[in-house]
Structure 1
Amino acid sequence: MITQFSLKIKASIATLTGLLALSLVIMSCTQQPGTTSPATTPTPMAVTNNTAGEEINQKLVAANTRFGFKLFSQIQKKQASKNVFISPSSVAMALTMAYNGSSGETQKAMTKALELQGLTLEEINKSNLLLKQALTTADPQIKLAIANSLWANQQVTLNPDFIQKNQQYYDAEISKLNFSDPASVGTINNWVKKQTNGKITEIVDQLQPDQILWLINAIYFKGNWSEPFAKEATKNRPFTLLNGSKKQHPLMSQSDRYQYLENDQFQAISLPYGNGQMSFYVFLPKSGKSLDSFYNSLNAQTWEQWMKQFRSRQGSISLPRFKLEYDISLNEALKALGMAPAFNRQQADFSGMSNVKANIDEVKHKTFVEVNEEGTEAAAVTGVGIRTTSAPARSEPFEMVVDRPFFSVIRDNKTGTILFMGSIVDPQ
């Protein structure tokens, strides 16, 4: 029998839809059949989050930003010729949920990879709670919901403190499943589909009896442009691909005052959603400048510098209408960032999660994004499998025609949180 504690987050309306789900799988192979004790799914806890008047620790936002750009860099270097679209904010939150069950050298490795040095676990958890509250109530014109869940094998006992922290700080739903029942796969995937408004339909393809846990984080974001693009202004125009060839593709166009930045390397624009607290940023390398050279200068430090240099300016923007799906395993990228011990069967230590020795088996990430005249819709799912082991602005109007590969970001301007980022080399 499955016990579920659900969290329903009230959100607002806008044109960007984003979802990230992180699934954490722990596989138990050290216990023999008949020797496991039944898992106890905790009853709903009367948790009081005394966050009134407290502020988000900006060290956590800065850590998430550094982690996000490092992760994106690792992926983009390996897939420079492909579209890349990820949700670093949700990956960070989901991994932090797993971080609550890590210990010893594994915790140190995850601290380094997630850039959490100088923050206590309590500070991390409380700031994530405050951040989630701030993001989901940011703008009545934007719909943003964040949901977390833990799907436990009914034959395994999870650490009560691990469960309590994930409930208290991440509002995680807790469910027990029979991992030997094929129907359990559909139960998890139906939750994913619901949280992503049907944009992501599957994160689990099968469950093994020796798995003990799937941990999933989902973010759903939908927002309309503050000023929608007129559909009659959308025209087919040439878009230059990385190999120099051109394809005809619909470009949306409008003119207004925008937050804008231009230097010798690129043009950049901020297109606001709703009341303007959240924006879609587009960075377009200048003609003759490559997207790779732009990425060589892109990191958390330069990003923060650029954010301070945007100024209001009259101009026009032509932006491709596009829609894409993206699917990647994050194992190698996370190992390169220092998380290798968490994947190693001999070294991994998740003793804070369960008394069953475990290591991360796989981290999967799926995304969906669509940009059109009304706004943007995006979705992302990340699955983590854990296996038991033993220049100065000019005054004249600008013209920005995004007719070649570009970098894009969806950002909450108040907190500085990056919800999504992507490299678009071939709009579909």
Structure 2
Amino acid sequence: MVRKKGSLLLMLCASLLLTSSCDGRQPISPESSKKQAQVLSLAERQQVAEKLHPDMVRAQNRFGLRLHEELAKTAKPGGNTLLSPYSIFTALALAYQGSGGNTAEEMARMLGIETIGKEQANASVRTLYTLLGDAGSGVRLNSANSVWYSRGMEIKDSFILTAKDSYHADVQAVDFTEKGTVKKINDWVSRHTRGKIPGVLDQAPTPDTLAILLNTVYFNGAWQSPFDPKDTQDGKFTLGDQTTKQVPMMRRSGMFEYKQTPEAQAIRLPYGDGRLNMLIVLPAGGHSLADVMNTIRKAPSIWQARFDHASGEIRLPRFKAESSLELREALIALGMKQAFDPAAADFTAMSGAKPLFVSSVLHKMVLDVNEEGTEAAAVTEMAMAGSAPPAGRFEMNVDHPFFFCIEDGQTGLWLFMGTVENPA
């Protein structure tokens, strides 16, 4: 008797709303954000953060940079490459919990958690969920997971318990052949991204789909110091091929965390009460975005360290961007091979169904940046030794391709990252 192959589909949606006005909503007030999660004091938050395995954040950030590098190799010339390392890592970590043998070893190495182990990884996921759920006033940050499996499929109680306990996942048995299942899954995505990503499925999954793992991340906040729309003026943005586009450029002056090296300028823009922030790294004259990305990949800790404060002016494009990516080939290139191989994949810690393998990994992200902004980060430490503070007042004109990331100031976790080559 020939048994039908069973495929596992991972879908990842990251909605990063860097404006609170584009959808008609009012800016988030401190009162409204406090209703979303328990508010922790800085001391309480530090106690929770101390439970986080020290290698977990480092692994996620490095994984994000490696994945971005692979995706950039096949990206359309001049296109933007956007992703949420946190979203992708979390969904893969959940799948890793269901893996065994060489499949588990490959996934652990690719994620950079081979020395951490499944239990420590689960504990760190729970800790991050608590910390990110308390993003501070003026900020809304929500992450959600779900497991959808075919009715009649044997799914192990231990995996369901882990999914619910460590990943706070919704677990549902469904019939993937029913017309209403696609709508149900897409509605779940839309609800958890506040409608910014209306869905991930254009049609019913393939007949051999036995399970779908979903992760969504939604962020909406307000700049700690908003840009004044009156100061926004059209300006030239020079693309990688040296052609130019007219884009609306926002402008703001003040005191910022700022760093300058021969290769680049870097700045942090805080949001809300300062627990999250946007880091922007702009290549200096004579250096390409590829040069700067190589520098960041080789020594990410330089850019994760706190910068000195300096007085200056920032000019930043107002723009919207989105990406829809199939991550299969990039993940294989990073070393996750057996999970995609029907003949070799081992997901026996999830189910006794054989063969069970990952068929595809889909990732969608929406980015929207304007004057009212969204996000926040703590500024507590000194700049890293060896980085000379800028002399006098600086000017940073983000008028050519740049790297950005959205980070949690306390843990250093990069929730979202990307390279923007064409804001138009």
Which category describes the TM-score, using the shorter chain as reference length?
Answer: 0.7 to 0.9
Q: Which residue of 2 aligns with 1:421?
A: 417
1:315 is paired with a residue of what secondary structure? strand
- On the 8 A contact 1:278/1:410 being kept in 2, the answer is yes
Q: Is the 8 A contact 1:14 1:274 kept in 2?
A: no
> How far 1:94 moved relative to its partner?
0.7
Aligned residue runs from structure 1 range 330-345, under 5 A? 330-345=327-342
Seen in structure 2, the aligned counterparts of structure 1 residues 247 and 14 have a Cα distance that, compared at 3 Å, is closer
**Within 2, Cα distance between the matches of 1:180 and 1:278?**
42
- Which residue pairs with 2:223 in the alignment? 225
Q: CA deviation at 1:62?
A: 1.1
Does residue 157 of structure 1 match 2:154?
Answer: yes
Counterpart secondary structure, 1:197: coil
Local SS of the residue matching 2:336: helix
- After TM superposition, the score normalised by the length of structure 2 is 0.84
CA–CA separation in structure 2 for the residues paired with 1:52 and 1:16:
31
Aligned to 1:268: 266
Tell me if structure 2 keeps the 8 A contact 1:182–1:207: no
1:394 aligns with 2:395: no
Tell me the residue number matched to 1:177.
Answer: 174
CA distance in 2, matches of 1:314, 1:77: 37
Deviation at 1:52, TM superposition (A): 8.1
Q: Does 1:278 align with 2:276?
A: yes
* Contact 1:15-1:142 at 8 Å conserved across structures: no
Which residue of the partner structure matches residue 253 of structure 1? 251
Distance 2:120 2:285 in 1: 45
How far did residue 183 of structure 1 move? 1.1
Matches within 5 A, 1:247-326: 247-299=245-297, 302-308=299-305, 310-326=307-323
Does structure 2 retain, via aligned residues, the 8 Å contact 1:236–1:250?
yes
- Asked if structure 1 preserves the Cα contact closer than 8 Å seen for 2:19 and 2:371, the reply is no
Partner of 1:67: 63
Secondary structure of the equivalent of 2:188?
helix
Letter in 2 for 1:284: L
> How far does the alpha carbon of each residue in 1:156-198 deviate from its partner, in whole angstroms, 9 at most, with x for none?
1201101110111011111111122111110000100111111
Q: Deviations over 1:39-62 (max 9, x none)?
A: xxxxxxxxxxxx986621121111
- The alpha-carbon deviation at position 298 of structure 1 amounts to 2.1
Q: Is the CA contact 2:78–2:422 (under 8 Å) kept in the aligned structure 1?
A: no
The answer to whether the Cα contact below 8 Å between 2:52 and 2:124 also exists between their aligned partners in 1 is yes
Q: Distance in 2 between matches of 1:297 and 1:326?
A: 24
Contact 1:326–1:368 under 8 Å retained in 2: yes
Q: Read off the aligned partner of 1:295 and give its amino acid letter.
A: M
Q: Does 1:235 align with 2:233?
A: yes
**1:18-46 Cα shifts (integer Å, max 9, x gaps):** xxxxxxxxxxxxxxxxxxxxxxxxxxxxx
User: Secondary structure at 2:142's aligned position in 1?
Assistant: strand
- SS at the partner of 1:294? helix
Q: 1:111, 1:355 → 2: CA distance?
A: 21
Distance 1:405 1:162, change over 3 A: same
User: 2: CA distance between counterparts of 1:201 and 1:69?
Assistant: 27
Contact 1:63–1:114 (CA under 8 A) maintained in structure 2: yes
Contact in 2 for aligned 1:142/1:222 (Cα 8 Å): yes
Write the letter of the residue equivalent to 1:196. T
The within-5 A match list for 1:26-41 is none
Aligned length: 369
Aligned to 1:373: 371
Say what the alpha-carbon RMSD is for the aligned residues.
Answer: 1.9
1:359 partner SS:
strand
Letter in 2 for 1:216: L
Task: Give the superposition deviation at 1:152.
Answer: 1.3
TM-score by length of 1: 0.83
- Letter matched to residue 78 of structure 1: T
Helix, strand or coil at the partner of 1:400: strand
Q: Quote the Cα distance in structure 1 between the aligned partners of 2:325 and 2:406.
A: 20
Residues 174-213 of structure 1: pairs in structure 2 closer than 5 A: 174-204=171-201, 205-213=203-211
Q: Alignment partner of 2:334: what SS?
A: helix
Structure 1: tracts of 5 or more residues without a match: 1-12, 18-50, 378-390
1:53-202 paired onto structure 2 within 5 Å:
55-79=51-75, 81-202=78-199
Displacement of 1:16 in angstroms is: 7.7
Q: Is the 8 A contact 1:261 1:269 kept in 2?
A: yes
Gaps of 5+ in 2: 1-16, 22-45, 376-386
* Offset, 1:209: 4.0
Determine which of 403, 407, 418 is the counterpart of 1:407. 403
TM superposition shift of 1:238:
0.9
1:263 corresponds to which letter in structure 2? T
- Structure 1 runs, 4 residues or longer, greater than 4 Å off: 13-17, 51-54
Are the aligned partners of 1:329 and 1:363 in contact in 2 as well (CA < 8 Å)? yes
Structure 2 Cα separation of the partners of residues 266 and 127 of structure 1: 33
Find the counterpart in structure 2 of residue 32 from structure 1: none
Secondary structure in 2 matching 1:338: coil
Name the residue aligned to 1:215: 213
